[in-house]
C-alpha cells in the first residue's frame, strides 16, 4: 500500500489548520512542505523548537504526516559565502526536521553557477559532480548527527541528471542518512524522452534500494520541452514505478506534484486504480 500525499503549496490557500483539514478531506495522509513556498516563516533564525512543536501538533491533529521538509538550495554555488550560508541553512533544516517529525529533508542537486540556471555542458560535467559531492558531504555529516535522512532528488537539468550519477553520489558518500527521492518525470527531458521507460527502469534498478520517497507527476511532450502536469493528464507510464513501490517499499509515502486544488483528488484516485492492478 502506498501512502499518497500532496505538495503543500499546491493546495488551496487557507489558514494552516483549515488547510491541513482540507488536505486530509481529499484523502491525502501526508505532504511535502517547503516553508517559504507555503507562506510560512522559513529562515534559519525562525526554526526554533517552539515553532517546530507548534507545526507538529497542527499536522498531527489533522492526521497529516510531513513526508518531506523541502530545502531546495544550490549546493554547487561557486560563491564561497553563498555556499557557506546554504550549508548552514541545510543544517538548520535538519535540526528542525528532527523536532518536526518530518520523514526526510529533501533537496535537488544544483547547478555550478550562482543563479541556479541550466547549462547542460557545465551541469553534466564531471567537475560539477565532484563539486556537488564535496559540498554535500558536510551536510550529510550534519544529517547523521541530527539522526535525520537527507534525500537527494535527481533531475535531468541539474548536476545529478541520471541514475548512474546518483549512484556515484550515494557510493562516494556512503552514509545511511543519504537516500533518494525518486521523481521519474524529473529524470526525463527532450533529450531522452524517446526511451523514457528505459530511463525509469534503470533508476529502479540502480537506486531502488535507497529510495525513501516518491514524487509523482505527469508530462506532455511539447517538442522543445516537457510540460509538467498533475498525474493522469499526460503521457507518463506509472505501472513500473507503482509496481516497484508496491512490491519493495511497503507503505512508502508518495507526494503528488503539479496538482491544483480541483484536480488533486482525481489525480490520487487515478494512481490508486493503477496501483490496484499492478
The predicted-structure confidence for 98-151, as pLDDT tens digits, reads as follows 999 998 999 999 999 999 999 999 999 999 999 999 999 999 999 999 999 999
Helix axes 163-173, 196-207, angle to 10 degrees: 10
Q: What does the alpha-carbon distance between residue 122 and residue 172 come to, in Å, rounded to a whole number?
A: 21
For residue 78, name the pLDDT band (cuts at 50, 70, 90). Answer: very high
Give the pTM.
0.96
> Of 246, 200, 226, 251, which is closest to residue 5 (Cα–Cα)?
251
Instruction: Domain 3-277: give its CATH architecture.
Output: Alpha-Beta Barrel (3.20)
For range 185-196, the mean pLDDT: 97
Report how far apart, in Å, the C-alpha atoms of 243 and of each of 98, 151, 224, 272 are.
Answer: 31, 21, 31, 11
In the block, residue with C-alpha cell 540502480: 206
| Contacts of 173 by beta carbon, 8 Å cutoff, 6+ apart | 133, 136, 137, 140
Share of the chain above pLDDT 70, in %: 100
pLDDT recorded at residue 115:
92
Share in percent of the chain as helix, strand, coil (round to 5): 50, 15, 35
Reduce the DSSP state of residue 115 to 3 states and report it.
Answer: coil
pLDDT one-digit tens code per residue, 42-72: 999 999 999 999 999 999 999 999 999 999 9
Q: What pLDDT score was predicted for residue 36?
A: 92
Question: pLDDT (tens digit, 9 = 90+) per residue, 194-240?
Answer: 999 999 999 999 999 999 999 999 999 998 999 999 999 999 999 99
pLDDT over 90 (residue 79): no
Query: What pLDDT is attached to residue 194?
Result: 95
In this prediction, residue 68 carries a pLDDT of: 98
Q: Are the C-beta atoms of residues 3 and 254 closer than 8 Å to each other?
A: yes
Amino acid at each position: 500500500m502506498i501512502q499518497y500525499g500532496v505538495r503543500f503549496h499546491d493546495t488551496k490557500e487557507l489558514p494552516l489548520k483549515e488547510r491541513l483539514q482540507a488536505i486530509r478531506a481529499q484523502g491525502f495522509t501526508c505532504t511535502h512542505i517547503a516553508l517559504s513556498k507555503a507562506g510560512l516563516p522559513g529562515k534559519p533564525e525562525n526554526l526554533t523548537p517552539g515553532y517546530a512543536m507548534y507545526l507538529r501538533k497542527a499536522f498531527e491533529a489533522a492526521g497529516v504526516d510531513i513526508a518531506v521538509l523541502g530545502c531546495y538550495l544550490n549546493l554547487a554555488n561557486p560563491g564561497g559565502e553563498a555556499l557557506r550560508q546554504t550549508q548552514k541553512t541545510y543544517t538548520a533544516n535538519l535540526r528542525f526536521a528532527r523536532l518536526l517529525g518530518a520523514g526526510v529533508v529533501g533537496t535537488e542537486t544544483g547547478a555550478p553557477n550562482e543563479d541556479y540556471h541550466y547549462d547542460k555542458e557545465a551541469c553534466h560535467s564531471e567537475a560539477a559532480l565532484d563539486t556537488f559531492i564535496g559540498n554535500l558531504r558536510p551536510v550529510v555529516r550534519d544529517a547523521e548527527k541530527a539522526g535525520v535522512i537527507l534525500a537527494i532528488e535527481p533531475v535531468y537539468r541539474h548536476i545529478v541528471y541520471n541514475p548512474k550519477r546518483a549512484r556515484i553520489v550515494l557510493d562516494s558518500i556512503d552514509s545511511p542518512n543519504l537516500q533518494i527521492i525518486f521523481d521519474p518525470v524529473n529524470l526525463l527531458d527532450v533529450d531522452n524522452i524517446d526511451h523514457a521507460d528505459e530511463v525509469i527502469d534503470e533508476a529502479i534498478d540502480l537506486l531502488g534500494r535507497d529510495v525513501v520517497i516518491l514524487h509523482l507527476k505527469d508530462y506532455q511532450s511539447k517538442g522543445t520541452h516537457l510540460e509538467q502536469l498533475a498525474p493522469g493528464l499526460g503521457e507518463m507510464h506509472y505501472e513500473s514505478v507503482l509496481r516497484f513501490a508496491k512490491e519493495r517499499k511497503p507503505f512508502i509515502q508518495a507526494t503528488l506534484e503539479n496538482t491544483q486544488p480541483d484536480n488533486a483528488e482525481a489525480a490520487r484516485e487515478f494512481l490508486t486504480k493503477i496501483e490496484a492492478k499492478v
